[in-house]
Chain A
Amino acid sequence: MLIQVLLSGIALGSIYGLVALGFAVVFKATDVFNFAQGMFVAFGAYFAVTTINLLGLPFPLAVAAIIAAAAALGVIIHIVLIQPLSGRPMLSVIMLTIALSIVMRAVIEILYGVQSRTLSTPMPTGIFIIGDVRVSQLHLVAAGVSWLCMAAFGAFFKFTSVGLLMRATADGHEAALVSGVNVKVMNRLAWAIGAGLAAIGGLFLGQLQIVSTELEHIGLLALPAVVIGGMQSIPGAIIGGLLVGLIEQLSATYISPKSSDILVYVLLLMILMVRPWGLFGQRELGRV
């Protein structure tokens, strides 16, 4: 049923959009293509297991703890790893994030063991039945929360002074420095946001399936999402995520499960050839 497929595509796409948003914020601010974003998703899921299932914290407190821990992790990584490498060629920084994801995966497996873990949260797991259509409540909550976060950050970037300052800094580092903006703080904030958003995505994905380091691969689907939508654009990342989710579900249903991957990447290639700055990005002056 088309509606069913569309709904699941939107639900999944919302989570992708969330992770992609985190990705875009980091990229826009610090010019880093963070291949470790997938591992932040996994980190969020595992930390959720610790706070909710192992420590038994009340749910709202646990969620706050997860976001805080992820944000702290993002900031630490920026201070220790990204800042020393500012100004280096992009490839080195990409490689650094890849090495980081290797280390994170190993550390998680040492701490939690290689077995996958179950995440059970107080989030509703029932079904809504509206006529012929059945919607999983968890999907609804995931989509709803994702949209809430994305809207909140959209407003943050558009209306608050800190948000505007972040955008300005991202658009021009020198100008920001000259204006007395503490660029370092802005960058760290960006990394905190990026990691935090990924962790929320991990919280949902962990409950939708099972918590394992394989969640990293789902997080990596945010990459084409961000590029298709536009790497320098916040709404672009969100739309990109939705598109990827929808394409995945539609092609898996009506063509074949294998085709979903390839369609996403063919679309990615086409966008890069025709409109490399993405659907919603800004065309950059000079040779792209």
Chain B
Amino acid sequence: MQDKNTRQPKGLRMKLLSAVAASTLAMSAHAQFEAPAEGVYKDRVDWGVMMDLSGPASGSQGIWTNGFQAYVRSINDKGGVNGRRINVLAEDSRFNPAQDKINYEKLSTQTPVLAISGMGSSSSQVSLAPTIRGGKIPIVGTYTHTKPLAEPVSPLVYGGFCTYPEMAKAGVGYMTDKLKVKSPKVMVVSIESAGGVEYAQFIADAVKKYGGSSSLVTMKITAADVTPQVLEIIKQKPDFITIYGVGNTAILTMKAMHQYGLKIPAFGISYLMSPQIYAAIGPDAGPNYNVISCFTPGGADQSAGNKEMMSAADKYNHSAMKEDVNYVAGWVAGQMAAQALQLAGTQPTRAKLVEAMSKGFTVNTNGLSAPIVFTPTDHAGPSRFRMIGYDYGAKKYVSFGEFADYEKYMK
């Protein structure tokens, strides 16, 4: 009885053996692919992050990095991408472009990475733009936009934070509708910086469509008191104001306006959304302050993406950060990175990654933002917004409408 089973035809056995051998070879070839000069190893991929982790902007950029690392960790816990886990090499720029120049070289030849995310300092971006464009490392998910890196569109660079022109349009449109004003008079309260001047220009363009007018008042980034700026606001009597700067800019402006009895509604740029800012503004002045954001902070709605992020944050000891917009942005950048890596295939190299991304891809964040669409000619990043406020009673965020509701302001 055994004879029939054990005496298999010789040819079949050989075929079986060779099939097993071939597939083992194939699998090992898959797993064995390494390109250490580009950060790709058998079981891991090195991915770089360049952000300010200990300098003046570390309060937001450090949080972003934590969000990025959290998403990567959650992906690694599930086995990684294509059998490789992502190893994040976070380099501290201390908000110093000279340091970023050093970091870029480090991530390109010393501890090579497949790609870089973050790049938080505008000066660094401007300074490194020629090197980046002339190099091979893609930048997937930047923290801020600068012209030299964004225009003309480069196959190497993909934006990862809320885009300013659409931010201005959505904000101005929403406020104009909500306050039901005809030709809105808008004031931009900003710190003195390149970004502030640019943002004021975008606001001016958006306001023009409604036949309104806008003006700009600036303050020092380290201002301790904003009485002069508020006096200017009192003089000009705008319909609403918008705030560009750091957390303090928003806090001081709102508190000072409250002190002078001004009830002018204000909206801040997407970066200025965290429970700390709202808590510092206080429940008296807070209801007048909203944020126009392309990201949904933790707890602002019950989408799948939001819940996933919240539970991961709790698991990894980041509970204090999950309501900070920067954490969400980092998490989403992680999603971008993981998806791009997936697209690059089982034998990723820098060139393959660039090729895959430049064909265009869409990142679905499951509700943490509107779908982020990258086309061969548009690498701007998240460009759909909605207004988000804070309910002091419930201690939670409140989102006004869905991303789709703001589409009409984008024209």
A127 with B62: CB separation less than 8 A: no
Please state if A217 and B222 are interface contacts (CB–CB under 8 Å): yes
Q: Is B219 an interface residue (CB 8 A)?
A: yes
Q: Residues of A with Cβ closer than 8 Å to B?
A: 1, 4-5, 8, 11-12, 106, 109, 113-118, 120, 125, 127, 129, 134, 136, 205, 208-210, 212, 214, 217-218, 248-249, 252-254, 257-258, 260-261
Whether B276 and A116, one on each chain, are in contact in the complex, defined by CB atoms closer than 8 angstroms, is yes
A-B contact pairs, 9 of them (CB 8 A): A12-B224, A116-B59, A127-B258, A127-B259, A136-B259, A214-B56, A252-B219, A257-B220, A261-B220
Q: Which of B148-156, B201-209, B226-234, B329-337 contacts A (4 or more CB under 8 A)?
A: B226-234
Known: A134-B259, A260-B220. A117 touches B227 (CB 8 A): no
- A118 and B279 within 8 A (CB): yes
* Neighbouring A residues of B260 by C-beta, 8 Å: 134
User: B259 contacts which chain A residues (CB < 8 A)?
Assistant: 127, 134, 136
Given the interface pairs A115-B59, A210-B276, the reply to whether A249 lies near B228 with Cβ below 8 Å is yes
Shortest C-beta distance, A42 to chain B (Å), equals 13
**Identity of the chain B residue whose Cβ is nearest the Cβ of A126 in the assembled complex:** B284
Q: Given that A12-B225, A249-B227 are known contacts, is A109 also in contact with B54, CB under 8 Å in the complex?
A: yes
| Interface size of B in residues (CB-CB distance below 8 Å) | 38
A210 adjacent to B251 (CB under 8 Å):
yes
Residue interface mask B321-334, A partner, CB < 8 A = 1 = 10010000000000
- The complex places the Cα of A108 from the Cα of B402 at a distance, in Å, of 40
- Contact (Cβ within 8 A) B228 A209: no
Q: Decide yes or no: A114 and B251 within 8 Å by CB, A120-B279, A257-B229, A258-B192 being known contacts.
A: no
In angstroms, Cα B58 to Cα A117, docked, is 13
Residues of A within 8 A of B58 (CB): 109, 114
**Are the CB atoms of A4 and B231 closer together than 8 Å?**
yes
A114-B54, A209-B252, A258-B220 known; 14 new pairs, CB 8 Å cut-off, are: A12-B225, A106-B54, A116-B247, A118-B280, A134-B259, A136-B259, A210-B247, A210-B280, A214-B56, A252-B220, A252-B229, A253-B227, A253-B231, A257-B219
- Whole-angstrom distance between the alpha carbons of A208 and B224 in the complex? 8
Which of the residues A11, A115, A116, A257 comes within 8 Å of B223, measured between beta carbons?
A257
A254 to B252, CA, bound (A): 19
Q: Which residues of B contact A209 (CB under 8 A)?
A: 224, 248, 251-252, 280
Contact indicator A8/B320 (Cβ below 8 Å): no
Q: In the complex, what residues of A have CB within 8 A of residue B231's CB?
A: 1, 4-5, 253
Contact residues of B between 260 and 276, Cβ < 8 Å to A? 260-261, 274, 276
Residues of B close to A5: CB separation below 8 A: 227-228, 231
Q: How far is the CB of B52 from chain A (nearest CB, A)?
A: 9
Measured between beta carbons, the chain B residues less than 8 angstroms from A248 are: 224-225
Sorted from nearest, which 4 A-B pairs have the closest CB atoms?
Answer: A253-B228, A114-B62, A8-B227, A118-B279
